Amino acid sequence: MPETKNGADDIVLADSERWSAAVGYVFLLCFYSLHKGRDSDFVRFHARQGFVLFVAECIALALILIVDKTIGRIPLLGLLVVIILRILFGLPALFLAVMGFVKAVFGERWRMPFLGKYAERASLN
């Protein structure tokens, strides 16, 4: 099984660890990484970030649905507001998920901007 080195910690990571950490950034698969993270600090680091991103995506989705059911009923203005909110919340979430996935696959620790501080505080042991 091929192995790679983590540049920051000089720890040898197995492919399964890197992929388990990476899938943590894919919406509901963060729970799989949280389960696998019990064995590896690297997987736990990325799983926590993936979980915080998942929670942020759920909150943003709830907010967008509320706006869609209220302001979204206004013919043109409502549609524009909902589209702008989807772009404002969707693109950064997609960017963070892709960056986290790529960094995990390459065996790097990467602290997400804005949400990374919440992942560090999370106690999911």
pLDDT digits (tens, 9 = 90+) for 57-70: 999 999 999 999 99
> Does residue 74 come out as left (phi exceeding 0), alpha (psi in the -120 to 50 range) or beta?
beta
The mean-pLDDT minimum among 3-12, 46-55, 62-71 falls in 3-12
Angle (CA) 19 58 85, round 5°:
115
4 sits in which H/E element: strand 3-5
39 pLDDT band (50/70/90 cuts)? Answer: confident
19 pLDDT band (50/70/90 cuts)? Answer: very high
Q: Over the chain, what is the mean pLDDT?
A: 86
**pTM of the entire predicted model:** 0.82
